[in-house]
Structure 1
Amino acid sequence: MGTITEVEEIKEFHVHLYWLSTSRRALNDAETLLDLIEKKNAEGYFVAKPLRVNPTPVGPHPMSSCEVWVPIEYFGKFYGWVAQMRPSTVSLMIHPLSRHQLLDHTDRVAFMGPSAPLNVETLQPPVTEHSPAQYPELGLGYSAKS
């Protein structure tokens, strides 16, 4: 990987749920975990936004998955909760959202549960001009007022 000359503040994360597409139990466990995440969101316990469920590999992700966006303001609370609630049939791939997409998915990635190799050839462009703010309407993460 290239040399990074400046450190950017990380304000948003992706947590990808991974499970085997051939396992009905794993799919049920993933759906239950996603339902619990939605419930905790509705209760105001944390902010974590699940996106669509991918029943087959998509992009760099080698198996069934679902992406969950978490802003820095709730990352610690979400991480602590999901570390205790994650079923053994579901792995989590956690990475920061920065301008360096390839580094975020390789050198800066962490797994909870078994890891899985990524197809990094699909990550383009590897570096973007601006920080990748998601859900600006929430005023969190990169969209928070300083």
Structure 2
Amino acid sequence: MSVTQSTITGFHAHVYFEPSSAEAAHSLCRRAAELFGVDMGRAHSRPVGPHSMPSCQLDCSPEQFGKLLPWLMENRGDLIVFCHGKSDDHLLDHTRNAFWLGEAQPLNLTMFN
């Protein structure tokens, strides 16, 4: 396998929550934005896009993600976090270039076909 320049330009971390854990998720995302300068998207109270649960998105550069990831691992509590790369291939980003902190949840990938 030859090494080439990555097509991943950044990362998303989607913090999933239930109604009972919404405030914990919002607090985690606000704190991440404060500590690491990542962009915090809207918290969606229902599933949006390919996500099967309500979530809040953190958008960051590769450099920010390198610092954010260990912090999320240690501070997410029982929250599930879906992490994926950002490139021009959304299907690949949400499948091969993705991982979960916590239990994997189903995704609706039909929107990428």
- Normalization by structure 2: what TM-score? 0.88
Partner of 1:107: 96
CA contact (8 A) 1:8 1:98 kept: no
Post-superposition Cα deviations, 1:93-124, rounded to whole Å, max 9, x if no partner, equal 0000011110110122100011101000123x
Bigger RCO of structures 1 and 2 (CA < 8 A, at least 6 apart): 2
Q: Tell me how far apart the structure 2 counterparts of residues 35 and 96 of structure 1 sit (CA, whole Å).
A: 21
Higher deviation after alignment, 47-56 or 29-38: 29-38
Q: Tell me how far apart the structure 1 counterparts of residues 74 and 8 of structure 2 sit (CA, whole Å).
A: 24
In structure 1, the gaps of 5 or more residues are 1-5, 41-45, 127-146
Q: Secondary structure at the match of 1:111?
A: strand
In structure 2, the gaps of 5 or more residues are none
CA gap 1:93/1:12 in 2 versus in 1, 3 angstroms = same
- Count of equivalent residues: 110
| Bigger Rg, structure 1 or 2 | 1
Q: Any runs of at least 4 consecutive aligned residues in structure 1 with deviations exceeding 3 A, and if so which? A: 6-9
Shift of residue 52, structure 1, vs aligned partner: 0.5
Partner of 1:27: 22
Q: Tell me how far apart the structure 1 counterparts of residues 50 and 7 of structure 2 sit (CA, whole Å).
A: 24
Query: What value does the CA root-mean-square deviation take over the aligned residues?
Result: 1.6
- Normalization by structure 1: what TM-score? 0.69
Percent identity among equivalent residues?
Answer: 31
Specify which structure has the higher proportion of strand.
2
